[in-house]
Copies of this chain bind each other. A is one copy, B any other.
Amino acid sequence: MDKIKPRTMSGFQELMPQNQVYFNEMAQKLRESFSLYGFTPLDTPLMEASEILLAKGGGETEKQVYRLTKGDTDLCLRYELTASLAKYVALHHGKLVFPFRRYEIGKSYRGERPQRGRFREFYQADIDIIGDGKLDIINEAEIPSVIYKCMTSLGLCRFCIHVNNRKVLSGFFAILEISNATEVMRAVDKIEKIGEQKLAEHLVTDLGLTTDKAAELISFVKHQGDPFEVLGKYRGRNEMFDTGADELGIVARYMSSFGVPDTHFKIDLSIARGLDYYTGTVYETFLLDYPEVGSIGGGGRYDELAEYYTDKKLPGVGISIGLSRLFYILQEQQLLNPDVLSAPADVLIIPMTEDLSHPIILATQMREAGLRVQLYSEDKKFKSKVAYADKLGVPYVAFLGEDEIKSGQVTVKDMQSGEQTQASASLVIAGIAEKIKTRRMLPPILEAE
């Protein structure tokens, strides 16, 4: 038979077993963190009718969408999680309780050119709090603490959450009498990428600002020192600006009650986020040692979640963590915690007798005690059996021969230390369980402070 060459398509992250364990562990830590803040899990379809997903219409993204026809139906694979949430809330509005807090960790699809850390199939981890008509500012102050909890539970410590408010920027543009505010907002969003010099040129040459205004704008957004000082300077000249400054004040004030230390949080007036969608507090999260990577989690406050599907006013606040990308960066930087148990089993039982009843009973006993066990039953040389555990990183090997069975003992080898001991099954199980327990609680990432 002619063989078809096995391959995985470019841009599709297919992990080897050990890396998959780390990835799953990261997703699990995010789930646990989101749950502590009362977010409920959703799992919406990966495909929607095209009219739903493309309601927003236009733009680069639409070109990247995976679209197909099945029967009479025009379908798209989702390219982000927000449209699915908007549809869900609009559709099930009467059955939901508001404010509605949901998280979703799921795959999305974009047919962009694959690059290092950019995937065509990728996981995003989103949280959103949706209000019915109104949503209190306190929710905007709570979100950074969710980010902080997520990052620290992963094991990251060198990161900083940058917070700004779109009303401050919009108000400031009004004070400067900038008419093309949308374009200028998008330009400011690129400041980290292109630098102050290039931004100034762009503002003057392409967007028609005077040199003075461009300079004043850049000096405002890149202000060093206390941000509330520069905010104070412009107060009283524009209502929206003042509201934004007030909101930033509230967010900053409650942040530490919410458990975010000063060291991990910064008011940064240059944070704009490109999308027109945002109307209040905006967030970006940066890894201190990998600024070139850009934001690994961002979001903000918006006023209209589902305007394409319903007349209902549904304001919200949310963030999105690019999980596939984050994982890619962390493993590339070799920050995966080597002490995490990434082996598929805690114990490999190697039977030394023809009849397998005793080893099988031992496996059953160990599993009942919560240990993850493989029984090695293949017909191989003793050495290959032990090598199997070694290659997989299984931390303990249990041998069960005639002698052990007669004396009711089990011989156990600690694969890391090489130490070999003999004891009763229940003692062996208790001993392994104790040692495994600590390793199971380790964070997936190990980053030095």
Chain A interface residues (CB < 8 Å from chain B): 1, 3-9, 12-17, 20-21, 23-24, 35-49, 51-52, 55, 66-68, 70-71, 73, 75, 87-88, 90-92, 95-97, 99, 101-102, 107, 109, 111, 121, 131, 134-136, 138-139, 142, 145, 149, 254, 257-259, 306-311, 344-345, 348, 356-357, 360-361, 363-364, 367-368, 370-375, 377-379, 388, 391-392
Contact = CB atoms under 8 A, between A and B. Distances in A.
Given A35-B372, A36-B373, A91 B7 contact: yes
Contact of A17 (B5, B42, B73, B363): B42
Contact of A4 (B4, B51, B311, B357): B51
Copies in the complex: 2
Contact of A3 (B35, B257, B311): B311
Closest 9 CB pairs of A and B: A38-B374, A68-B68, A40-B344, A38-B345, A138-B377, A257-B360, A6-B91, A6-B90, A6-B309
A121 B91 CA distance: 19
A48 B9 contact: yes
B45 A121 contact: yes
Given A136-B378, A377-B139, A4 B55 contact: yes
Given A8-B48, A97-B392, 9 more contacts: A4-B308, A8-B91, A17-B96, A24-B41, A37-B372, A66-B75, A138-B356, A139-B377, A257-B360
10 contacts: A7-B87, A9-B48, A17-B41, A20-B40, A35-B344, A35-B372, A38-B372, A47-B66, A67-B68, A135-B378
A5 B42 CA distance: 21
Given A101-B374, A136-B378, A344-B101, A66 B70 contact: yes
Contacts of A375: 138, 142
A1 B307 contact: yes
Contacts of A3: 308-311
A36 B371 contact: yes
Given A4-B308, A258-B360, A379-B134, A43 B20 contact: yes
Nearest to A97: B391
A361 B42 contact: no
Nearest to A363: B258
A363 B141 CA distance: 13
Given A68-B68, A254-B356, A257-B360, A45 B309 contact: no
Contact of A308 (B1, B47, B91, B378): B1
Contact of A257 (B39, B258, B361): B361
A87 B257 contact: no
Contact of A373 (B38, B70, B138, B307): B38
Given A47-B9, A70-B66, A258-B364, A41 B55 contact: no
